Structure 1
Amino acid sequence: MRVALATEFLEQYGGAQKTLEAIAELYPDAPIFTAKYCKKKQSDLINSRKIIAPKGGLMSKSFFLFRMAPIFEGFDFSQYDLIISDGTTWNKGILTKPDQLHISYIHTPPRFLYGYSQEGVKWQKFPLIYSYITNLLRMWDFVAAQRPDFLVTNSQETRKRIRKFYRRDATVIYPPVDVDFVPTEPKKPINPTFIAVGRLARYKNFDLLIEAFNKLEMPLTIIGTGNDENRLKKLAKKNIKFLGHASEDTKHQYMKNCLGLINTVDDEDFGIVPIEVASHGKPVLAHGSGGHLESVVEGITGMYFYDRSVEGLMGAIQNFEKAIHENKFDSEIIKQHAGKFSKSRFQNEFRQFVQDRAAEKFGL
């Protein structure tokens, strides 16, 4: 069976790319179709594959959006039996024939089209234009979501969104998390502080977190980079440390030695970072919404907060700190919870799903 993979962007290395990597390991001969490829930011496994991407330079992200649908609709998959797409928006819209099988792993319907907090684009500053454009894109997105033969998604939360916006069902297979990662010993001791990890974008609510820690005067380490980095650094006092971009090893060093993770994003699609932290036996304070309701178990692997005011978050942090110092969380139980989201579990479930659908389609 000839297999091809499709993903939207290979310009950063995050949860979506790790999912693609886990799928790619199952199909070692499959090429990868993508709209944008940055070799320096990808793993050796991805870089070892045949990458098929548009030639020439690409315009800014705001205008690049308008090229995405034609790019994926223009890819030629005629020589493949099975096409697996992995992403949020555009690649589920690839065009296939009736005798081909298309399975799409959807991390979330595009947040910017359906009213969820997200990282904005420049034309959001013009409400009438933005409304007109998003209406057109929502129509295309709905049509594109009908094209795959089967949909797979990363959480029950995202499954609900797919049902609402696409009028289709999806099979939930939780994404792969490297729960067995063992970091090297840091060259210098790492002081145990609370940490926050993620892309520094406005919708991640890092400004709320910074304001709370400014007032609490407690140490906080923020790991990650992003478009909002300069603004956030200006907000932060000296008790807040920005680590910037960190390797997987460095990130896990801080996770292993932290007091706990604080994740302030609301309506998270799933949330891999809380599971990564849990793999080291550390608890999580997360907003009680979205995928956090599946990745964090209240009172067992962490706590929820609901009040998104500065004062509300401050109170939640203080309660979280108190619970940690009173040993309310069992690190071994937290690690066991993280083990349910392992990469091997994902690959076994995904492989079986594809085999079953291929058997139905091709009689294999």
Structure 2
Amino acid sequence: MKTVIFHDFFIDIGGGGKVVNILSKYLKAPIVTCFYDKSNLSTIQNTKIFHDNSFFNKLKSIRELKLIRTIYFFNHKLKKLKNFFNENFDSAIFSGFYSIYFARFLEIYKIYYIQAEPLSYIFERENYKSLITYKYIYELFLKKLERDSIFSFDKTIANSNYIKKVYEEEFGIKVNKIIYPPVDTSKFYYREPEDYFLLVSRLYPYKRVDVVAKVFTKIPSKKLVIVGSGPLASYIRRLSQRYKNIKYLGKVSEKKLIELYARCNAVIYISEKEPFGLVPLEANSAGKPAIVANEGGLTEGIIPFKTGLILDPPYESNLKEVIENFDKYHFSKIDCIKNAKRFDKKVFLKNFLRELKN
């Protein structure tokens, strides 16, 4: 069976991009995407990627233009190639918000692997406030397009119970299956803690990285290491210059990141309504506990008081209390690693291949 994968864009690779990359390599399936920044994506080398190589690819840093171009690419430009995909492939996997617009034009077997909340949810978030009122653009132009595209799929698979519930309530569809996203547990290893907490995230307001950093400004005896990039990078950098216990590393290599996981006390990840969250499971893969928010799909991967802690709001005060008293908690590296293996990429690929064949 020849499969092709459609994904919005590869600029900074997040959890969704990692999943697409794993599927692509296993299925030997090419990826079709709008924007692609090879310089930032060493982890997806040896993957066959077809992308929009027009002049607009140079303007991907301008959010409004990136949005408009991605919609045009999947809803109009690729339409000219629908016969090529229908004749040369047996199935297609879609991931993202905008790639699904092309699904309406395909006659082959189509699966939508849902890895995020609906587009309307995303446009409500703070990082999408702009000169353009995204909410109205969605209502006027994208809402019907999104709905029609979703109903064109042969099968929908959600990456968590949380996402399944959201889509069923929002669109009135029946999500066929839940398959949790994979973590490559074989890459990680355990080392004795070196007395720091780790935050790995894209630096956006909805990720609550500012909340975590603020907590550590009030606890100078506790160290925080932050890895990631995004709009809040300048703010985090200034904090790290002002407070000696906060260290901002920006982007790091995969080898360095794995080492940071191995030597930390715990990973903190309290993102707003996270669809699932791979970072806590990467922490567990290294034998380390994760501190997560009690919302979204984050609670589905963590066993409370065994492989991590689940925080209730208010997050700032409750996180501060947990960090100050962290020595009172006891976690087994064996329990953490065992939990992570439930989500290993071998389990994911076995489950996904079964759905693809069916």
TM-score range for the pair, normalised by the shorter chain length: 0.7 to 0.9
Q: Deviations over 1:42-87 (max 9, x none)?
A: 3475544152435222442223212323311231223244343342
1:297 and 2:300 are equivalent in the alignment = no
1:316 match: secondary structure: helix
1:282 and 2:281 are equivalent in the alignment = no
The corresponding residue for 2:30 is 31
Rate the CA distance shift 1:311–1:32 in 2: closer, same or farther, 3 A: closer
How far apart are residue 322 of structure 1 and its match?
2.8
TM-score normalised by length of structure 2: 0.88
How far apart, CA to CA, are the structure 2 residues paired with 1:23 and 1:262?
A: 28
How far apart, CA to CA, are the structure 1 residues paired with 2:340 and 2:158?
A: 19
The corresponding residue for 2:344 is 342
How far apart are residue 175 of structure 1 and its match?
0.8
Does structure 2 conserve the Cα–Cα contact (< 8 Å) formed by 1:26 and 1:351? no
The corresponding residue for 2:244 is 238
What code does the residue aligned with 1:338 have? Answer: A
2:203 match: secondary structure: coil
Does structure 1 conserve the Cα–Cα contact (< 8 Å) formed by 2:112 and 2:156? yes
The corresponding residue for 1:362 is none
How far apart, CA to CA, are the structure 1 residues paired with 2:44 and 2:316?
A: 43
| Pick aligned residue for 2:226 from 222, 225, 237 | 222
Rate the CA distance shift 1:18–1:53 in 2: closer, same or farther, 3 A: same
What code does the residue aligned with 2:202 have? Answer: R
How far apart are residue 98 of structure 1 and its match?
7.2
How far apart are residue 309 of structure 1 and its match?
5.0
The corresponding residue for 1:121 is 128
Does structure 2 conserve the Cα–Cα contact (< 8 Å) formed by 1:282 and 1:331? yes
How far apart are residue 166 of structure 1 and its match?
2.0
2:55 match: secondary structure: coil
How far apart, CA to CA, are the structure 2 residues paired with 1:35 and 1:119?
A: 24
The corresponding residue for 2:144 is 139
Q: Deviations over 1:84-142 (max 9, x none)?
A: 3342311122145674111111101345x12687462352x56xx34321323233222
2:186 match: secondary structure: coil
Provide structure 2 residue ranges, at least 5 long, that are not aligned to the other structure.
none
Does structure 1 conserve the Cα–Cα contact (< 8 Å) formed by 2:194 and 2:265? no
1:92 and 2:100 are equivalent in the alignment = yes
Q: How many residues align?
A: 344
1:107 and 2:111 are equivalent in the alignment = no
1:270 match: secondary structure: coil
Rate the CA distance shift 1:5–1:309 in 2: closer, same or farther, 3 A: closer
| Pick aligned residue for 1:201 from 196, 199, 204 | 204
1:79 match: secondary structure: helix
How far apart are residue 194 of structure 1 and its match?
0.8
Does structure 2 conserve the Cα–Cα contact (< 8 Å) formed by 1:4 and 1:80? no
Rate the CA distance shift 1:46–1:162 in 2: closer, same or farther, 3 A: farther
Tell me whether 93-102 or 61-70 shows the greater mean CA deviation.
93-102
Identity of aligned residues (%): 25
How far apart, CA to CA, are the structure 2 residues paired with 1:106 and 1:298?
A: 26
What code does the residue aligned with 1:104 have? Answer: Y
1:2 and 2:5 are equivalent in the alignment = no
1:180 match: secondary structure: helix
Provide structure 1 residue ranges, at least 5 long, that are not aligned to the other structure.
357-364
Q: Deviations over 1:220-251 (max 9, x none)?
A: 11111112110122234121001111111111
Rate the CA distance shift 1:95–1:224 in 2: closer, same or farther, 3 A: closer
| Pick aligned residue for 1:332 from 316, 325, 334 | 334
1:42 and 2:48 are equivalent in the alignment = no
| Pick aligned residue for 1:64 from 63, 66, 72 | 66
Rate the CA distance shift 1:96–1:82 in 2: closer, same or farther, 3 A: farther
